[in-house]
Every structure is written in C-alpha cells, then in structure tokens.
C-alpha cells in the first residue's frame, strides 16, 4: 500500500521536497537547542564556582559556627544566583552546620574531590582555612534541568516555525511540480493515448528552451517519423494486398487450367490404354503366326543347321515381342500397386550375356564396348548369380538401363556391368554425366533429355520392376567419375527364395 501510494511521480517529488525541508528544520532546531544547553551548563558551573569562593571569603574570622550560619543566611540571594539550588556549611568530618535547599549527592566524594559533576548534579565545595587549618566547607550545588522555561519556550517556537516551514515547503513543492513536471505528464498522457488509439497525429503542445522542452521536441519529432512510416506501411500493405489479390486470381486461373489439363491427360491416358489394349490384342493375334510357323517348320525337319538357327532366332524374337506387349500391362498394374510377382529362379549372368548378344549391332554401330565383371574379375559362363523374380521383367530392367548407358556413351567408351555377390548388387557405369536438369527426376515418368525418340519410360519402368522385386535402384552422376546406376537385391531374394524355385522357362533350353 505504501508503494502504491507513492507510485505517482508527483507524490514522490512533493514528499521528497517536504521531507528535505523537515529534515533541515529539525537539524537546525536540534543544533540550536544543543548549543543553548551546553552554553547554559558551562555558565552555571562558572557561576557556582564564583559564588562559593565569594561566600568563603565573606565568612567571619575566626570561624564560629553560629556566626557562619548567620552570614550564610544573609549572603544567600536567589535572585542573583539563579542557578544555585543548594547552599550549606559542612564541618571537615562531613556533618552539616547549616544548609538551605535540598540536593542529593555523596558527601564523602565531595569532600575528597571538592567537586561533584554528573548528568543531574553540579556541587562545589570551598574550604574555609584559618591559620592553615580547614575549619569548614562552603557548599553550593545546582540541579541540571535541560527543559527549563527558556528551553521549553525555544522548542515550542521552533516546533511552530518548523511546522509552518514544512507546510510552506509542501505547498511550494506542489506548485513547483505543476510548473516543472506538467510537460512530463502531457508526454505520458500522449503516449498512453497513442498506444490505445494508434493515432500518430497527436502532439504535445509545449515549447521551452530547457531540457523538458528538448524532450518534448524530440518526442514530437519521433511521432513525425512514426506517422510517416505508418503511412508508408499502410500504402505498402494496400499494395501487397492488391498484389496478393492479383496473384490469387492468377493462381486460381492456373489451377483451373491445371485441373482441366489433368482431366484431359487422364482422358488421353485412358484412351491410350484402351488403344494399347486393342493393339496388344491385334499384335498378339499376328504374333501367333510369327511364333507358330517356326515351330511348324522345325517340326517338319529337312532344314540345315543354319536354317534352324535362323528360325529359332525368329521364334525367340517373336516371344520377346510378346513379352514386351505383356510388359505394358504389367507396368500398368505396378503403377497401381496391384501387380503380383510370379517368381522363378532367374540366372542373371546368363541374362546379361543374352542382353549383350541382343545389342551387339548397337555396340558395333556406336563403337562402344560392353564389359561384364563378376566380383571384380572378368565374367565367365561358369559364374552364377540367381535371384527370385520374373525373367522377362528383369530382362526389361537391365536391358533398359544398359541400352541407356550405351546410347549416352561416346565413341570408344566402355560401359561396365559389375556383379558383386557379396552385397547382391549389379552396377552399370559409363563415363558421361547425366544432365543436371534430369538428375533429380531421373527415374520419373516421361523424364528424358537430348533423345529425339526418347519416351522417358525406360528408367521409369526399370524402377517399377525393381520395386516389384523388392530391389533398390539408385543413380549417382559426377563429372569426375561419370554415371553409376546400382540395383541392389535383398539377401532374401538372392539366397533363401531361389533354393526352392524352379528355373525360368526362358533359361531352361539355353
């Protein structure tokens, strides 16, 4: 509550000025009273000593107690001795011969020291000496009263003057704070109103050349800057809102176009699938002749060895075309996640030999060498690396990746296919760099670059086939090391499953 009462700045200023005046007045009064008391105390001691010496001198000689008692009664004058409260004549042994007034003190201490001085009593003893012998002692004493009439009157007058001074200082402080601190209150009120209303056009109307005037001037200048920035921010906000509105309308328009394009693409895709389905049906009908007639010719016999080889190649080409037609339907199912793998034991070494044989003419035409290694050594027909999968799909996977590597190579380049049985991987390496434009979308659908007849489906279908076989396909390409595509099969597909699987039909007669 005390802190809350003095929270306003004006109360603190008034209290400070009033308190300082009160402290100053009290200090002056106390110093003056102390000075008066000390002066009175020293003066009373001098008077007592002078009086006791005067009395001792006025005592009759020779010393007779009765005459000394009469002389003491006649000599004592309280009007001349305002500080004397006690007079007495005492024999050397301490017995009182005559006394006037009362005062408590130790007689033995007085006679031994001739003086008693403490906080409440002042007593002086003066010996009466006759013929070198002390006949008696004259005693004068005074009680010390700090608050006599003079001191009391002084303190009353000081209290009245101090109270008047405090009241005057209070009203002067109140007047002074209104005169000096009103600009500060105007500043506080303006800041509070600006904080509530956000109106930066308000100003504090105060002009002066003192520090408060400088403070108000700088405060108003700050408000000018804030008002200017507020106008700029408001203008910029409106401009941004307009730009956002235009951008939103543009995005809405593009979104509508995109929705339309997606719908058109879906319709075109559906039409394409239907056309492919029809074409596949028609192609399959024609392929029955390409596949059937070689079988008929071979069954008739009467063919030379070369003729039989030619007819077998024609028959095998027909089966491959049939596989390609079937692959399109399988890729469609893989895209939708509904394809079921019909796994057999596929020997990948012989599959790669077959792909090498199929692209011999391409290698010759492009002057590119295809090298196959097995565990960092040249491959041979005795090497084996079997995985669980579908022969025609795996043939499509590696054929697409190898053909892409060969087509991207320069003349006299070497494309290396490395088989590593320790980590169940097959990597394909060529020395050229995949363009940065398609590195991140290398396995995306329709991702192609620099090939006039490229469809962007080769790597896409390779990734789908790898996923269907629970294999992982990856690509890294740098200027210094070229391009490396890796296909990593799981250990489960290469060891556990192949032991109980039949070999692929396509490899049974090789």
Confirm whether 245 is domain-assigned: yes
Confirm whether 204 is domain-assigned: yes
- Residues contacting 425, CB < 8 A, separation 6+: 419, 486, 487, 488, 489
Residue 464's closest CA among 485, 443, 442, 439? 443
Distances (CA, A) of 444 to 175, 300, 455: 86, 49, 11
| CATH assignment of the domain containing 35 | 3.30.450.20
- The listed range with the strongest mean pLDDT (32-36, 271-275, 440-444) is 440-444
Q: How confident is the model at residue 277 (pLDDT cuts 50, 70, 90)?
A: low
Confirm whether 171 is domain-assigned: no
Is a pLDDT exceeding 90 seen at residue 418?
yes
- Whether 224 and 292 map to the same domain: the answer is yes
**pLDDT score at 505:** 53
CA distance 242 to 244: 5
pLDDT in tens, 366-407: 999 999 999 999 999 899 999 989 888 898 889 889 988 998
Confirm if 98 and 89 have CB atoms less than 8 A apart: yes
Averaged pLDDT of the chain: 77
Confirm if 95 and 166 have CB atoms less than 8 A apart: no
**pLDDT score at 146:** 45
- Whether 309 and 349 map to the same domain: the answer is no
Q: What are phi and psi of 382, to 5 degrees?
A: -85, -15
- Whether 208 and 302 map to the same domain: the answer is yes
- Whether 351 and 487 map to the same domain: the answer is yes
- Whether 311 and 351 map to the same domain: the answer is no
**pLDDT score at 93:** 83
Is a pLDDT exceeding 90 seen at residue 349?
yes
Which of 114, 143, 165 is the C-terminal boundary of a domain?
165
pLDDT in tens, 123-159: 888 888 878 788 888 888 876 554 455 566 666 777 7
What's the domain range around 75? 2-165
- Whether 395 and 300 map to the same domain: the answer is no
Confirm whether 407 is domain-assigned: yes
Confirm whether 172 is domain-assigned: no
Which of residues 356 and 102 earns the better pLDDT score?
356
Q: What are phi and psi of 307, to 5 degrees?
A: -65, -40
Q: How many residues does the chain have?
A: 510
- Residues contacting 9, CB < 8 A, separation 6+: 181, 184
- Whether 227 and 299 map to the same domain: the answer is yes
Is a pLDDT exceeding 70 seen at residue 491?
no
- Whether 402 and 474 map to the same domain: the answer is yes
- Residues contacting 393, CB < 8 A, separation 6+: 327, 330, 465, 468, 469
* pLDDT > 70 in the chain, percent: 72
CA distance 102 to 85: 7
* pLDDT > 90 in the chain, percent: 13
**pLDDT score at 79:** 45
- Whether 392 and 494 map to the same domain: the answer is yes
**pLDDT score at 508:** 47
- Whether 32 and 138 map to the same domain: the answer is yes
pLDDT in tens, 113-129: 777 776 667 788 888 88
Q: How confident is the model at residue 509 (pLDDT cuts 50, 70, 90)?
A: very low
Least-confidence region, from 225-234, 247-256, 371-380, 450-459: 450-459
**pLDDT score at 212:** 65
Residue 456: CB atoms within 10 A of its CB come to 17
Residue 346: CB atoms within 10 A of its CB come to 26
Q: How confident is the model at residue 278 (pLDDT cuts 50, 70, 90)?
A: low
Which of 303, 318, 333 is the C-terminal boundary of a domain?
318
Is a pLDDT exceeding 60 seen at residue 195?
yes
Structure token pair of residue 313: 């190649």
Residue 434's closest CA among 401, 462, 476? 476
Q: How confident is the model at residue 429 (pLDDT cuts 50, 70, 90)?
A: very high
Q: What does the pLDDT average to over 435-448?
A: 75
Q: What does the pLDDT average to over 89-94?
A: 83
Least-confidence region, from 280-284, 384-388, 450-454, 462-466: 450-454
Confirm whether 372 is domain-assigned: yes
- Where are the alpha helices (H) located in 367-468, listed in sequence order? 391-408, 436-439, 458-468
Confirm whether 250 is domain-assigned: yes
Confirm whether 123 is domain-assigned: yes
**pLDDT score at 372:** 95
Is a pLDDT exceeding 70 seen at residue 256?
yes
Structure token pair of residue 340: 């079921």
Domain count, the chain: 3
- Whether 295 and 355 map to the same domain: the answer is no
**pLDDT score at 358:** 83
Which of residues 34 and 439 earns the better pLDDT score?
439
Q: What does the pLDDT average to over 187-203?
A: 76
Greatest Cα pair distance, the chain, in angstroms, is 196
pTM: 0.42
**pLDDT score at 111:** 76
- Whether 309 and 353 map to the same domain: the answer is no
Rounded to 10 deg, the angle between the 391-408 and 348-358 helix axes is 50
| CATH assignment of the domain containing 381 | 3.30.565.10
**pLDDT score at 449:** 62
Is a pLDDT exceeding 60 seen at residue 507?
no
Residue 428's closest CA among 444, 411, 406, 443? 406
Q: What are phi and psi of 130, to 5 degrees?
A: -135, 120
**pLDDT score at 483:** 92
Beta-bridged to residue 139, according to DSSP, are: 88, 125
Q: How confident is the model at residue 74 (pLDDT cuts 50, 70, 90)?
A: low
Is 323 buried (19+), middle (13-18) or exposed (0-12) by CB count in 10 A?
A: middle
pLDDT in tens, 19-66: 777 777 777 766 666 666 656 556 667 777 777 777 777 777 666 777
């Amino acid at each position: 509550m005390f802190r809350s009462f003095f929270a306003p700045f004006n109360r603190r200023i008034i209290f400070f000025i009033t308190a300082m005046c009160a402290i100053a007045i009290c200090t002056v009064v106390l110093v003056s009273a102390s000075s008066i008391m000390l002066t009175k105390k020293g003066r009373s001691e001098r008077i007592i000593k002078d009086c006791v010496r005067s009395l001792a001198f006025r005592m009759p000689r020779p010393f007779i107690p009765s005459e000394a008692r009469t002389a003491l009664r006649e000599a004592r004058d309280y009007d001349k001795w305002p500080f004397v409260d006690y007079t007495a004549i005492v024999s050397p042994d301490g017995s009182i011969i005559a006394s006037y007034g009362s005062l408590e003190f130790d007689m033995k201490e007085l006679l031994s020291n001739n003086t008693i001085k403490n906080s409440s009593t002042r007593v002086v003893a003066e010996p009466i000496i006759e013929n070198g012998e002390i006949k008696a002692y004259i005693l004068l004493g005074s009680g010390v009263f700090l608050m006599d009439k003079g001191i009391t009157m002084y303190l009353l007058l000081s209290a009245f003057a101090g109270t008047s001074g405090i009241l005057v200082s209070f009203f002067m402080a109140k007047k002074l704070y209104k005169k000096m601190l009103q600009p500060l209150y105007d500043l506080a009120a303006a800041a509070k109103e600006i904080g509530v209303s956000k109106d930066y056009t308000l100003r504090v109307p105060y002009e002066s050349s003192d520090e408060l005037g400088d403070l108000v001037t700088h405060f108003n200048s700050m408000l000018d800057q804030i008002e200017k920035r507020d106008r700029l921010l408001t203008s910029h906000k409106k401009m941004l809102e307009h730009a956002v509105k235009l951008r939103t309308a543009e995005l809405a328009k593009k979104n509508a176009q995109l929705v339309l394009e997606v719908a058109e693409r879906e319709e075109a895709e559906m039409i394409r699938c239907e056309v492919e389905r029809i074409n596949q049906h028609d192609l399959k009908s024609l392929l029955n002749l390409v596949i059937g007639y070689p079988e008929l010719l071979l069954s008739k016999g009467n063919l030379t060895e070369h003729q039989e080889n030619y007819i077998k190649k024609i028959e095998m080409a027909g089966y491959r075309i049939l596989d390609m037609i079937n692959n399109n339907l399988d890729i469609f199912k893989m895209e939708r996640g509904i394809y079921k793998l019909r796994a057999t034991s596929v020997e990948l070494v012989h599959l790669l030999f077959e792909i090498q044989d199929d692209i011999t003419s391409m290698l010759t035409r492009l002057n590119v060498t295809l090298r196959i290694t097995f565990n960092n050594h040249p491959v041979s027909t005795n090497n084996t690396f079997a995985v669980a999968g579908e022969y025609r799909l795996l043939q499509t996977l590696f054929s697409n990746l190898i053909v892409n590597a060969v087509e991207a190579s320069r003349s006299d380049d070497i494309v290396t296919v490395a088989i590593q049985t320790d980590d169940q991987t097959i990597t394909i390496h060529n020395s050229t760099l995949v363009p940065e434009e398609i590195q991140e979308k290398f396995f995306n659908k329709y991702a192609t670059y620099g090939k006039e007849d490229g469809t962007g489906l080769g790597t896409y279908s390779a990734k789908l086939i790898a996923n269907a076989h629970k294999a992982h396909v990856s690509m890294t390409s740098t200027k210094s090391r070229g391009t490396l595509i890796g296909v990593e099969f799981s250990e489960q597909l290469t060891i556990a499953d192949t032991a109980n699987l039949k070999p692929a039909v396509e490899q049974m007669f090789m």
